[in-house]
């Protein structure tokens, strides 16, 4: 196994553990505005591990998503340091996991990093570098 593959493997394991530990409390406390925007396809998971906008958001939605992304970045930075990985690599691996966990009807960024796709009943398209 190459050094890069070992590093990605460590990041994946750390990201999976972190996302599970972070996800349960976060899901229980989701803002109804966030849920509504996600269900309406106004926001979606990006390949970089952060939420993105599909279209032009309201100021309220923009503030909500920016707050979530700030919290994600802080969590990624902490976990990346613990996994001896870069923030960018850790966030990307988390993005792979978050896209994989989208539900039918939710939006996610295609592997090209530009196009938005709506999840159907099949597995989402994943970036070729996803572990």
pLDDT of residue 131: 86
Q: In what order do the strands lie in the sheet with 107-109?
A: 51-53, 43-45, 107-109, 116-118
pTM of the model: 0.79
**Do the strands 51-53 and 116-118 form a parallel or antiparallel pair, or are they unpaired?**
unpaired
CA–CA dist 9, 32 (Å, integer): 35
pLDDT of residue 102: 95
Poorest-pLDDT segment among 26-40, 48-62, 109-123: 26-40
Q: Is 84 left (phi over 0), alpha (psi -120 to 50) or beta?
A: left
Domain boundaries, the chain: 3-118
| pLDDT higher than threshold 70 for residue 23 | no
| pLDDT higher than threshold 60 for residue 100 | yes
pLDDT of residue 25: 38
């Amino acid at each position: 196994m190459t050094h890069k593959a070992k590093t990605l493997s460590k990041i994946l394991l750390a990201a999976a553990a972190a996302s599970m530990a972070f996800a349960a409390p976060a899901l229980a406390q989701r803002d109804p505005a966030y849920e509504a925007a996600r269900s309406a396809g106004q926001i979606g998971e990006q390949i970089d591990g952060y939420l993105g906008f599909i279209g032009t958001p309201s100021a309220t939605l923009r503030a909500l998503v920016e707050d979530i992304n700030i919290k994600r970045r802080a969590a990624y930075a902490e976990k990346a340091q613990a996994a001896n990985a870069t923030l960018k690599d850790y966030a990307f691996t988390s993005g792979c996991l978050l896209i994989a966990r989208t539900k039918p009807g939710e939006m996610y960024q295609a592997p090209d990093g530009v196009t938005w796709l709506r999840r159907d009943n099949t597995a989402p398209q994943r970036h070729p570098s996803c572990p």
